Structure 1
Amino acid sequence: MGLLRGLRIKLGLKKDPLPPLPGVEIGRHTYGLSKRSFFVPHENVPVRIGSFCSIGPDVLFICAAEHRVDTATTFPIQFVKGKIRNAPGTGGKGPITVGHDVWIGARSIILAGVAIGNGAIIGAGSIVTRDVPPYAVAFGNPARVIRYRFQPEIIERLQALEWWNWSDDLIGERVELLTATDVDRFLSMVEPA
């Protein structure tokens, strides 16, 4: 990649196109990802990122990069002869799942086997080693839940509403409600009777 192109991508003036990656699925309107966001993407360790997620710069999803400690070598020797598909130890600890409307701060690291719930916020520089519940705010190394964005009843109602599945037209009609700070009022106005 040329120096000028790389600088434009870093400054956000040009998008770094995200080619199809093995085992990676990304929902609509999610932004901030590039091929450098995924370390060893692999079909055996799927990464599923929901819609309307905001991913900060230099966030890294570590997929299948576990080194065995119970064998004669910690080196991933199966790569030497290209036997990655069937060699033991090439998978991670499980899939990475990021719900909808999740905000992951800059330079965070998400490890294999982790699920981040809908509406969660991950603070910048965090290392996520375990699941984060819906609408939780978590940060640190390792990331820990420090609070929830809303009361449990509001979280339950938001989960049931699933606004991220609305059409773009419906979201456009309700953008003022979606961005209002009175979430209870928003829910009262849009929940089915």
Structure 2
Amino acid sequence: MGIVDKIIAEQRERLREAGSDRWRIVSAQLAAKVAPMALRGALLAPRLGSVRGMPLIGRGVRIRNAHLIHTGKDLVVEDFAEIQGLSRDGIRFGDGVSIGSGTLIRPSSYYSRAIGVGLVMGNGSSLSPGCYIGCSGGVTIGDKSMLGPGVRLFAEDHVMSDPTVDVKSQGVEWSPITIGAGCWIASGVTITSGVTIGDGAVVAAGAVVTRDVPAGAVWGGIPARELKSRAPE
């Protein structure tokens, strides 16, 4: 069974189990949406560095340096997302990864033209609409982690140590961001360079994270601080 048939069958079964008679209409709607995404995926797949299973690609998606992008099974990239592959280690997606509409994945700087490190996303992880993943210093996201709408990751920072020189001319310094497995990064969160988020941690909406978050912790605020712990006592 192909990914298109799989998605339609899963949705049909959910509606049937719920006793809904709308499954026929929904199946037709899904087919109308998913089939063009599968066609775009089929056209993209030969250009990718490696691919397992056919990706679903939305309208207006921009892919650059596709030969440096490696995908697992069932990748979904929604409308008008942008993925730039140009990076030292490439862009690597596990199985079941989804990229929300309008999300930008940029591993290399427009200003310095330096080639950045890249991005690794684990199985079942997702980026909601409007995320910005600045992975020049390297970003790693573990399995089954969710990033909400408008989350921003910046794995680089501007150098500003010399007050006699404008900040732009001083360049940037890189430091990786790591988000563990099973995390929930809520909408509008900003994570700065060098930060590690431990497994199972939650970051509340709108927080600005400038230091490491322990596993199982719940953090929030500007700058973010611990609110409580999810870890078992």
Superposition TM-score tier, normalisation by shorter sequence = 0.5 to 0.7
3-state DSSP of counterpart to 2:158: coil
Kindly tell me: are residues 33 and 96 of structure 1, through their superposed partners in 2, closer, same or farther at Cα, counting changes over 3 Å? farther
Per the alignment, residue 91 of structure 1 pairs with 173
Unpaired runs of at least 5, structure 2 = 1-58, 61-76, 86-106, 108-115
Per the alignment, residue 51 of structure 1 pairs with 143
What CA distance in whole angstroms lies between the structure 1 residues aligned with 2:120 and 2:129?
13
Kindly tell me: are residues 34 and 57 of structure 1, through their superposed partners in 2, closer, same or farther at Cα, counting changes over 3 Å? closer
What CA distance in whole angstroms lies between the structure 1 residues aligned with 2:82 and 2:124?
14
Per the alignment, residue 167 of structure 2 pairs with 75
CA contact (8 A) 2:129 2:149 kept: no
Alignment equivalent of 2:78, drawn from 3, 11, 14: 14
Per the alignment, residue 32 of structure 1 pairs with 127
Q: Over aligned residue pairs, what C-alpha RMSD do you find?
A: 2.8
3-state DSSP of counterpart to 2:157: coil
Q: Which amino acid aligns with 2:182?
A: D
What CA distance in whole angstroms lies between the structure 1 residues aligned with 2:226 and 2:182?
17
CA contact (8 A) 2:124 2:145 kept: yes
1:49 Cα deviation after fit: 1.0
1:74 Cα deviation after fit: 3.1
With CA pairs under 8 Å and 6+ residues apart, which has the higher RCO, 1 or 2? Answer: 1
What CA distance in whole angstroms lies between the structure 2 residues aligned with 1:143 and 1:90?
23
What CA distance in whole angstroms lies between the structure 1 residues aligned with 2:128 and 2:153?
10
Per the alignment, residue 102 of structure 1 pairs with 183
What CA distance in whole angstroms lies between the structure 1 residues aligned with 2:133 and 2:158?
14
Per the alignment, residue 73 of structure 2 pairs with none
Per the alignment, residue 170 of structure 1 pairs with none
3-state DSSP of counterpart to 1:76: helix
Count of paired positions: 130
What CA distance in whole angstroms lies between the structure 2 residues aligned with 1:65 and 1:46?
13
What CA distance in whole angstroms lies between the structure 2 residues aligned with 1:117 and 1:106?
18
Deviations 1:49-105 (A, max 9, x none): 111111001100012232313252233226xxxxxxxxxx5213x211110011000
Kindly tell me: are residues 26 and 34 of structure 1, through their superposed partners in 2, closer, same or farther at Cα, counting changes over 3 Å? farther
Alignment equivalent of 1:132, drawn from 202, 213, 216: 213
**Kindly, what percent of the aligned residue pairs are identical?**
32
TM-score, length of structure 1 as denominator length: 0.58
What CA distance in whole angstroms lies between the structure 2 residues aligned with 1:32 and 1:14?
10
Q: Comparing both structures, which one devotes a greater share of its residues to strand?
A: 2
1:107 Cα deviation after fit: 0.6
Q: Which amino acid aligns with 2:162?
A: D
CA contact (8 A) 1:18 1:35 kept: no
